[in-house]
Structure 1
């Protein structure tokens, strides 16, 4: 009799054993359908020795596998990555496996599907919900459920519009082949330095061996064009490449650059894809047909048939760390995938993280530098504006020096960018009479005013409320005031100062899809926008030759909060946004507004001496035993029952193991003491680098029990301390 150990797409279950019926082949990696009680679940066959089962079941008690999907099996390197991710990040293996099989429809053999789109016809019976649906759907296309989610209406509304003729079905081919990129389509003319770097990457791809590279190039130095040569080498060898980007909004500009270089678009993978698009992409990736995949961090776990190169663009970005579900860091996990696949990996950044720099110093990563901008463009001059000496007028946020610079830039017909990493109009609204502050009822956070769409919103749980006419506490009229600036408030100030200058607000509220990003890029390139006001969304990836001025409205914003990476992140963010200025033939200028011009991070930016800043910051981390010189893990306890949360947190703290050079701090209420209606407490584990923290935590928590209403999550190598 043949047995198979199967890992199901159920995070609550470990591996289970099944009988393989006569005539069925279920090798390790095969994607199968297995019975579980009355249900049928998808799973993957695993090697028994690599996925031990909690209890051995006799042959006579095994149930038969139902079927094997007509899809390529998950290769051994991907299975090893799933095991490593589960072990390192203390995540259920079934939860990690789900990231490799994100679309059940991709496993089906159907070749067409019916999607729906608006016809332009307005039905006779136009209810408010139908009107909302047609407005929000616009020219989008998708399944009924997808359109209903886009429009925020029920499926019945969409089906009613279909019957009325306002929406029509469209047959979509699911397995249409993707065009193959041409590595010689438009080969660039590289400088000597760029050519040397490109040749190194090409050699590594051809050698088919594991080698992590750090491509450290100043903004505008042509890092993309250089690692494209590594991608071209992989295409020539008939192998696949993966390029990870930190933001979905960066996908569209990147796709255009790729198409210019290789003649066709790459295969995209991100949350904005329709279900049919995800299915087509997944099958093309699994079959090896998709030669180049560009996507968000989730693309890392897809089942590539013959991966030859991984590139992490803007590798320093904190958004590569997943903060819910499986809390993995895509940068570090990608290095492990490169190791298991035995292929090179390129970490590209103008401001590499301290953890990455440390790996270079240890000799584990090879550094490739591009110290100069491409085409003779010069790095912009950076100057600090001391807000204590040069303050904005009362009720304003832009210093006179910055306002004058914007004025001069407009006179020259050039573009300006104002950066403030805070969405909305104001972070806090209060009553001037009684002091009432508008707080989210589900989170320990203020409601942010979004004046453009007339609502108050919690940026943590998504709660939306209509701004009241009177104070809900004292009933005073016209007493509500906005405190502090967001990008919308800066945009209002710009409109008052420069009423004739066309402007755009760029945040995740306005650029929520690749199509919106493409529209913004087109307007900038056509010089239809003179002043951009944006958040961190505009700090990277964009190339606008006519943008010559950058103003950082509040450089001190990111330094608050006690985050161990606060100074490093502020330096990276401002250096990246400064790099948007002067990327063409025109020189660029950068003004950084701050209340502390002597802060080390501000001094490093103004002097251009980033190396001294990194050296000092690294030494501080070393003295504190902080990453990368020590290890950290956060244990977060949450429950809708406040008492249950604190009692469980105290139990975990009281039973903490006493191990030399390991300290457990807490429990203490988390800075976000309530999130989405759940009370939260945190413990922080700090240990020497050599200690296997995962084993310690696994044994520690595994010996405890707590109420089912309590959720305990472990964040290894935390990036968020909220």
Structure 2
């Protein structure tokens, strides 16, 4: 627990009966703040320790005049008297949460229909525990020596002691005296303890360092991005540019403008893996490292970063979506790189979309927001179309590089050999590329060796015992695992159903199986596998990127991690093993996500002087996604996609909210889902779909049912949901999760 400026009250004494009533938001699922007595002056945003039941917790003073949400207000005459309120225990020695962050927490809670305390927890959960104690050292006082006998050791200490604090060890080392001598001088009043100033954990980036030479188009766009930053005005701009057009360097100019104003910058990346190469580019441009924020940081580093952000010494933060909840002292710019990425959506706990909440965060801070992508989401394009967002476009690759040639490999006409997955045409292209001393990449967005294992004797399929999902074979580790709940078991030798010996066979390819095939087909290639299974940390990712950039490997095999904005100058060929993967399943955004992913993958090829090639292995070459990729006509595809959704009021031309009912048994899940469906709202412009079993009908041992609330664009879903579910009281371990603006329908 962090130190507090108030001592804990003596339990034998009565609590104070005078003070101010304050409302304190605690990080628990209450519908609003709780009232406490403040024996000392407190301000909104102060972080305090308060009693809660028989324990203590850290909360935030939300209001000092007890302004509570309407649905939390006590009836007239039922307000707890001041004398009965429990007192605040102490105030933490940290800066108050800024008003813009508190407003953001309230906004996210209201929009996602989440108790505000759970949103507060994301801003404070671990960052206030075990607050660092200040380091203390010794300084010389002005007290005269008087009658104290000054031995040679004491004289040496006094000669070295100054107004700059030194630790006991340091002062002893310089003076040659023992710790006992130093403590004796302190007892005599000739030395006193003082806090040793700690250097800021982050150097200040220099906006004038390493300024790049921009093309005329880049310079014009950069100037447009800098305008709102310099004016300190909220505005959302979509920065769209073809892959390799230098989008990062362009928005770095807006970052430089923000730094020149003395304000802070937040840059969101969809994946931790991107931070290594992005950070290198940042250091070259600004001469210092940014503060990094993601879940892989150690607890100590997270606390240091949290406090540096609150104090304003962390000037630029690059991080995952959770960085939105950092207590920025003076936020002047928010950037969302790869804004189309579904990784920005949090689908457990507080369900929110990082891109959309980043825009809200910027608005509440009166700061501009820049959304960056080569393949913008339909939601962002719709906001551009309506005039809510500005649009800046980079049409040319940087340095004269050209876009790659994209072509299809019709797997019906040019199939691979039986039991293999790489077509002869793709294999020939890889041979030619490697012979020229260039690099090739194989892309398959599927982890493991095979997505399904079945018995060829009885047809039994290896399924997760906790989920309605097949177990994925990871042959390198000799296991079958569920990618949803983490269940793992050894690969059995015999079928567990019919006990037939050696009858289990893998069905379909995963990245391990493609690697196995590539080693046999290209024995002289220097292979590197990039997936979440092989790159367990940002450091491992940075090392893999270094090997590719330095030419130590020439054949890269990867999952979606290779699609992120990497710059590999020697990479000239990209082969997509299964371009059709992701098109099935009836997902609203399946086609959009597939074209975005494959366009990003294709964009890794030919980013330097050599023209790139992309080969898409497909069984449905006539699909609009394949047509768009081959013709490099992303705009026409998105226009067609928009028209289909507009006519049926699907997002972004309508609103959606998913209700996920879960329970320990199928019967309980069905009963609660039916109860909710029977009270569904009936009004014009509102439609309720379901209930129906979720595609993942069982997840982590819980049975799941889904309902979908759909409304026309002008009808907000939150008031409808509050009224609809207000009287629903789940029992027996059943619960209802609400996902506003869902992007996944599992």
- Say yes or no: TM over 0.5: yes
Structure 2 counterpart SS, 1:452: helix
Q: Equivalents in 2 of 1:674, 1:540: separation in Å?
A: 32
Q: Which residue of 1 aligns with 2:120?
A: 97
- Counterpart among 78, 82, 96 of residue 73 in structure 1: 96
Which entry has the higher C-alpha Rg, 1 or 2?
2
- Counterpart among 36, 43, 50 of residue 18 in structure 1: 36
Q: Which residue of 2 aligns with 1:42?
A: 58
Q: Is the 1:81–1:337 Cα contact (8 Å) retained in structure 2?
A: yes
Tell me by how many angstroms 1:106 deviates: 5.7
Q: Equivalents in 1 of 2:735, 2:30: separation in Å?
A: 13
- Counterpart among 503, 508, 528 of residue 484 in structure 1: 508
Q: Which residue of 2 aligns with 1:3?
A: 21
Tell me by how many angstroms 1:107 deviates: 7.1
Q: Equivalents in 2 of 1:473, 1:192: separation in Å?
A: 67
Q: Is the 2:657–2:709 Cα contact (8 Å) retained in structure 1?
A: yes
CA shift digits 1:165-203 (9 cap, x unpaired): xxxxxxxx9874311111111010000111111111222
Q: Is the 1:174–1:280 Cα contact (8 Å) retained in structure 2?
A: no
- Counterpart among 84, 87, 90 of residue 107 in structure 2: 84
Q: Equivalents in 1 of 2:301, 2:198: separation in Å?
A: 8
Q: Is the 1:309–1:345 Cα contact (8 Å) retained in structure 2?
A: yes
Q: Which residue of 2 aligns with 1:439?
A: 463
Q: How many residues align?
A: 662
Q: Which residue of 1 aligns with 2:210?
A: 186
Q: Which residue of 2 aligns with 1:267?
A: 291
TM-score (normalizing by structure 2): 0.87
Tell me by how many angstroms 1:12 deviates: 4.1
Q: Equivalents in 2 of 1:229, 1:235: separation in Å?
A: 10
1:32 is the counterpart of 2:55 = no
Q: Is the 1:174–1:276 Cα contact (8 Å) retained in structure 2?
A: no
Tell me by how many angstroms 1:444 deviates: 0.5
Mean CA deviation greater in 622-631 or 525-534: 525-534
Q: Equivalents in 1 of 2:391, 2:545: separation in Å?
A: 32
- The 5 Å alignment of 1:408-419 reads 408-419=432-443
Q: Is the 1:69–1:107 Cα contact (8 Å) retained in structure 2?
A: no
- The 5 Å alignment of 1:652-663 reads 652-663=676-687
Q: Is the 1:390–1:401 Cα contact (8 Å) retained in structure 2?
A: yes
Structure 2 counterpart SS, 1:612: helix
Structure 1 counterpart SS, 2:282: helix
**Compared with structure 1, are the counterparts of its residues 107 and 71 closer, same or farther at alpha carbon in structure 2 (3 Å cutoff)?**
farther
1:457 is the counterpart of 2:473 = no
Q: Which residue of 1 aligns with 2:248?
A: 224
Segments of 5+ residues of structure 2 without an aligned counterpart are 1-18, 137-196
Q: Equivalents in 2 of 1:430, 1:705: separation in Å?
A: 42
Structure 2 counterpart SS, 1:418: strand
Q: Which residue of 2 aligns with 1:467?
A: 491
Q: Equivalents in 2 of 1:204, 1:518: separation in Å?
A: 34
Structure 2 counterpart SS, 1:221: coil
Q: Is the 2:247–2:372 Cα contact (8 Å) retained in structure 1?
A: yes
Q: Equivalents in 1 of 2:130, 2:305: separation in Å?
A: 12
Q: Is the 1:174–1:277 Cα contact (8 Å) retained in structure 2?
A: no
Q: Equivalents in 2 of 1:176, 1:415: separation in Å?
A: 42
Q: Equivalents in 1 of 2:292, 2:303: separation in Å?
A: 12
Q: Which residue of 2 aligns with 1:331?
A: 355
CA shift digits 1:475-523 (9 cap, x unpaired): 2221110000001111111111001101111111111211011110111
Q: Equivalents in 2 of 1:496, 1:260: separation in Å?
A: 40
CA shift digits 1:377-420 (9 cap, x unpaired): 00000001111111111111111111100000000111111111
Tell me by how many angstroms 1:559 deviates: 0.4
Q: Equivalents in 2 of 1:109, 1:493: separation in Å?
A: 53
- Counterpart among 601, 606, 609 of residue 577 in structure 1: 601
- RMSD of aligned Cα (Å): 1.5
- The 5 Å alignment of 1:136-535 reads 176-535=200-559
1:640 is the counterpart of 2:664 = yes
1:59 is the counterpart of 2:82 = yes
**Compared with structure 1, are the counterparts of its residues 624 and 261 closer, same or farther at alpha carbon in structure 2 (3 Å cutoff)?**
same
Tell me by how many angstroms 1:692 deviates: 1.9
Q: Which residue of 2 aligns with 1:564?
A: 588
Q: Which residue of 2 aligns with 1:719?
A: 743
Segments of 5+ residues of structure 1 without an aligned counterpart are 114-172
Q: Equivalents in 2 of 1:102, 1:220: separation in Å?
A: 39
Q: Equivalents in 2 of 1:273, 1:630: separation in Å?
A: 39
Tell me by how many angstroms 1:11 deviates: 2.0
Structure 2 counterpart SS, 1:405: helix
Q: Which residue of 2 aligns with 1:693?
A: 717
Q: Equivalents in 2 of 1:175, 1:222: separation in Å?
A: 35
Q: Equivalents in 2 of 1:106, 1:680: separation in Å?
A: 36
